[in-house]
Structure 1
Amino acid sequence: MSIRAHALCLLACWLMLPCAARAETGGAALFRDAEDGQFDMSRWLLEHRGFLPVPIVITDPAVGNGGGLALAFFHRPKESDPTAAEADGAPRMVTPDIYGGMAIRTENGSKAYGVGASLHFDDDRWRYRGGVADASMNLGFHTPGKRLPPLEIDYNVDGVVSFQQGFRQLGNRDLYLGLAWIYMDVDIGFDVASDRDNFTPKELASRSSGLGLSLEYDNRDNTFTPSSGWLGMIEGNFYLPGIGSDGAFQSYRGHAYGYWPLGKRLVLGGRLDARWANGEIPFYRLPYIDLRGIGSARYQDTRAGVLESELRWNVTPRWSLIGFVGAGRTWGRHNSFDDGSSQVSKGAGVRYLIARALGMQVGLDYAWGPEDDTFYIQVGSAWR
C-alpha cells in the first residue's frame, strides 16, 4: 500500500521566485554556495532552523494525480562537524535529522495525513525511523492467474497506519541491527459489494500488528544521492494475534542497492529487491512490483522480485541526466514462477544538486510501463 509520493518540488515557483527575490535584496549569500556560487540550499536547511514548506506531487497510476503539502524540518546533529572530511580529502556529507508532517489528496478521492521522522543519536550509533498516518485510499486489486479470472476489484482502505523502527550500530562497522513495530487498523470497503465474496475472512482482516527484525549494512557516501558504496538489508516481520493482529502471517524483504563511479562523470547504480509473504496475509498487504512506470500494487502475489539499473551522467557539477530500466515478476499464490510474466519499465530524468553539503539532488523522471507512462518528482534517490 505504499504510495509513490515524492516531495520537495524545490525548483517550482514557490521556491525559486522567493529565492530570486531574496537575492535581489541582499540575501543572496544564504542561497548561494560558497564554493561555486550556484543556487544551493545547504545553509538554509542546516543552519537557519531547517524549516521548509514542501509541495508534494503525486503521479502514481494507482491513485491518479494529486498533491499536498508537507512541513519538513532539517537539523544538523550535534556530532556532525561541518568541516570534517573523508580519508580521501573529499568533504563529508551531512546526514541530517528530518521530521515533519504532511497532507495529500488525489483525483480519485484518496487522501492521507500524518507525521514522521528520521533521527540519529550518539554519533549515529542509534537511529530511528517512523511515522503515523491516517489514510483513506481508493485502490484497485488485480487478480491474475488461475485462482480467479483476470479482473480489477476496486476497493477503499480507511484507517490508521503506524511504523516505528529503531537501529543500533554493531561495533564500529557500517552494520545496524533493527527492531520494528508495524501496526495497521483499517476498514475495507468495495465499490461492488459482491466483490467481497472473492476473499476469505482472513484475507479481509482489518487489523495487523507485527514485530520485525532487520540487519542493515550501509557504506554509501551519502544517504540522498549516492555516487559510491552500497546499501544491503534483510528483514522479517511477524504478525501474531498475541500482539493485536487479526491473523498470523509473516512478511520478508531482502534488497541491495549498489553505486559504482565510472570515471569522473558517470555513476552506475544497480538494485535487487525481493519480497515475500506467508500465512494469513490480507489481500491488500501482498507484495507487489515496485518500479517507476508501474502503478503501486498493480501486480501482486505472495512473491515479488525486481531488478533495476540506473546510469547517471554528471553533465556539470550541478546538473545530471539519468536513464533507467527495470523488470519485475510476481508469483506464488496465483501463479508459479514459470507461469508469471515479467513486467518491464524504463525511463529518463534530470537532476539538480540542490544541497551540496547533503549530497542531495532533486529532479524529474519520466517512466514508461506496460500500461502507463507518467512522471515523478524525485528528491534524492528513487530507490527507497
Structure 2
Amino acid sequence: MMKRVLPAAATALMLAAFCPAGHAFMEGFIDQEDGHLDVSDWMVNRKGFLPVPIVITEPAVGYGGGLALMFVRNSIRESAEKAKETGHMTPPDVFGIGAAATENGTRAAFAGGMMSFDDDRWRWRGGIARTDVNLEFYGIGGPLGGGTRSIAYTLDGWMSSQQVLRRLGDSNNWLGVRWIFLDLNSKLDIDNPLARLQPDEQSKRNSGLGLTLEHDSRDNIFTPNKGWTGALDATFYDPDWGSDTRFQAYRGHVFAYWPVAKTAVLGTRLDGRAARGQVPFYQLPFVDLRGIPAGRYQDENTAVAEAELRWNVTPRWAAIGFLGVGWAWGRRTDFGESSSAVSKGVGFRYLIARQLGLWVGLDYAKGPEDDVWYIQVGNAWR
C-alpha cells in the first residue's frame, strides 16, 4: 500500500515546488489557520460534478473499491447562508452514480440522491442499485451443524429504496414514509438439510411500505460532539403491493454523544431490530458491529449496545476506543438463552475538514472470529 501512496505524494510535492499552478492547487488544501492538510475550503465552496473514490472493507464481501460521480447542486456554504433565514441547516442537494466491486466477486452499480424542498420542510432520499453480491449463510439462530461453518449464496438483481420525510412543526423531528423494493434471485442450495429453510424464506420479490419517526439534534452530522439522533421504523411487506410473501420489519435505534471532558467525547449506541412473518432469510436482522461480518449472527431479533470514546490528543489528531456487544435470538432460543457476540477495537482520527468538523481515520476491530480494518469517514454508526 505504501508503494502506491509515496509516489503520489512525491508527485504532489514536486508539482507544488516547480509549477506555480500546482503550488496554488496545493494551497487550496492547506488550512491557513494552522498550516495542516485540510479540505474544508474544497468541500464548503465546491459544487458541480465531483469524483468520489469508494473504499470497501466489509469482511462479508472482502476488500474492494470503486468510483462514484457526484453532482452537488448547492455548496455547503450556500446551505449555511440559507440556514440564517430558515433557522435550520439544510444539507446540500446531492445526486450520484457509481459502481464498485470486491475481491470475492461482488459487484454493484447504483444511482441515488437526496433533496430538500419548501425551506427544508420536506426531504427526499432515494436510490436504486443493480447488484451481484456473494455472501455466506451461517444459519438462523445458531450454527449450521455437521461441521459446516457456512453455505455460500448470491443475491443477484435489483434493489430500490425511496423515502419522503416531513418536518414536524419547527422541531428536529421528522415523520416519513418509505417504499423498499427488492427483486433478487437468491442462489442458495435450499435442499441442503443444514440450511433448514422453507421455500417462502427464499422468496425473490419483496415490496414493503413503511413509516419512520426520526429525531436529530446532533451538533454535527459528520462527527458529532453532543446531541442525539434516533428513529423508529416499521416496514410492511405484502402481496397487495407486489411482495411474494407477507412479513414485517422493525427497527429502533439511538446514537447519543456527550462531551465528557474538554478533549473527550463519549458516544453510545442502542440498536434493536426484529422481523415477523414469512421473512426471506436474507432479510432477517443480523448483529451489526465492527469486527463481525454482515449476516454472521442472524435471527428474528437482534440487539446491539456499543460505546465509543474519542480522545482529541491534539487539535488535529484523536485516538479511538470502542466496545460493543450484540445478541441474536428468536428462532430456537429466547433472549436469556442467546449467547453474546463481543467486538472491541481501537483506531485513530484526523480532522480533515476543520470548518465542517469532519474526522477520517482507521479502525482495527477484533470480533469473535475475525480481525478487521475499517476506513472511517465521519461517524462509524449508520
Between the aligned partners of 1:195 and 1:47, the Cα distance in structure 2 is 58
**Match status 1:139 vs 2:135:** yes
Shift of residue 320, structure 1, vs aligned partner: 1.2
Per-residue Cα deviation, 1:264-288 (whole angstroms, up to 9, x for no partner): 1000000000000001110011000
Specify every segment of 5 or more residues in structure 1 that has no aligned partner in the other structure, as ranges.
Answer: 1-10
Distance of 1:18 and 1:239 partners within structure 2: 54
1:3 alignment partner in structure 2: none
- Could you give the per-residue CA deviations for residues 99-157 of structure 1, whole angstroms, max 9, x where no partner exists? 31221111111111101223333333222222111101111111254796374221111
Match of 2:80 in 1: 80
Q: Aligned equivalents of 1:166 and 1:83: distance in 2?
A: 21
SS of 1:26 mapped into structure 2: helix
Residues 63/83 of structure 1: CA separation in 2 closer, same or farther (3 Å cut): closer
Q: In 2, are the aligned partners of 1:176 and 1:215 still within 8 Å (CA)?
A: yes
2:353 matched to 1:355?
Answer: yes
User: 1:276, 1:303 within 8 Å by CA — same for their partners in 2?
Assistant: yes
Of 295, 298, 307, the residue aligned with 2:296 is 298
Q: Distance in 1 between matches of 2:142 and 2:321?
A: 36
Q: Which residue of structure 2 aligns with residue 160 of structure 1?
A: 158
When residues 115 and 353 of structure 1 are mapped into structure 2, their CA distance, relative to the original with a 3 A threshold, is: same
State whether residues 153 and 195 of structure 1, in contact with CA within 8 Å, keep that contact through their aligned partners in structure 2. no
Counterpart amino acid of residue 305 in structure 2: L
Maintained 8 Å contact 1:94/1:357: no
The range that moved more, 97-106 or 13-22, is: 13-22
Q: Offset of 1:69 from its aligned partner?
A: 1.7
Give the 3 Å change call, closer, same or farther, for CA 79–307 of structure 1 in structure 2.
Answer: same
Which of 90, 95, 102 lines up with 1:106 in the alignment? Answer: 102
User: How has the CA–CA distance of structure 1 residues 231 and 274 changed in structure 2, closer, same or farther, with 3 Å as cutoff?
Assistant: same
Tell me the CA shift for residue 349 of structure 1. Answer: 1.0
2:46 maps to 1:48 = yes
* Structure 2 counterpart of 1:314: 312
Return the alpha-carbon distance in structure 2 between the equivalents of residues 291 and 94 of structure 1: 30
Given that 2:351 and 2:359 are in contact with CA atoms closer than 8 Å, whether structure 1 keeps it comes out as: yes
Q: Is the partner of 2:80 in helix, strand or coil? A: coil
In the alignment, which residue of structure 1 is the partner of 2:256? 258
Structure 1 equivalent of residue 126 of structure 2: 130
Mapped to 1, the partners of 2:210 and 2:11 lie a distance apart of 44
Contact kept, 8 Å, 1:105 with 1:112, in 2: the verdict is: yes
The DSSP-based 3-state class of the residue aligned with 1:297 is: coil
User: How many corresponding residue pairs?
Assistant: 369
Deviation at 1:314, TM superposition (A): 1.0
Structure 1: how far apart are the matches of 2:141 and 2:300? 12
Q: Do the aligned partners of residues 138 and 36 (structure 1) sit closer, same or farther apart at CA in structure 2, a change above 3 Å counting?
A: same
2:89 is the alignment partner of 1:97: no
Counterpart position of 1:121: 117
Higher Rg:
2
Task: Go from structure 1 to structure 2 and tell me whether the alpha carbon gap of 1:360 and 1:50 turns closer, same or farther (over 3 Å shift).
Answer: farther
* Counterpart pick for 2:286 among 285, 288, 293: 288
TM-score (norm 2): 0.88
Instruction: Flag structure 2 segments of 5+ consecutive residues without an equivalent.
Output: 18-22
Alignment-derived partner of residue 184 in structure 2: 186
Q: Quote the Cα distance in structure 1 between the aligned partners of 2:261 and 2:155.
A: 48
The 1:310/1:19 distance shift into structure 2, 3 A limit, reads: farther
Cα distance between partner residues in 2 of 1:134 and 1:293: 27
Amino acid of the structure 1 residue aligned with 2:315 = P
Which residue in the other structure is 2:20 paired with? none
- Change in Cα spacing, 1:14 to 1:337, as seen in structure 2 (3 Å) is farther
Aligned to 1:6: none
Maintained 8 Å contact 1:94/1:358: no
> Residues 203-352 of structure 1 correspond to what in structure 2 (within 5 A)?
203-352=201-350
How far apart, in 1, do the equivalents of 2:158 and 2:98 lie?
15
The TM-score normalised by the length of structure 1 is: 0.88
Aligned equivalents of 1:18 and 1:357: distance in 2? 27
What amino acid does structure 2 have at the position aligned with 1:42? Answer: S
For 1:38, the aligned partner's letter is: H
* Alpha-carbon shift at residue 255 of structure 1 (Å): 0.1
1:213-253: per-residue Cα shift (whole Å, max 9, x none)?
A: 00001000111110110001101001110110001100000
CA spacing shift, 1:221–1:23, aligned 2, 3 Å: farther
Task: For residue 52 of structure 1, give the secondary structure of its aligned residue in structure 2.
Answer: strand
Q: CA deviation at 1:174?
A: 0.6
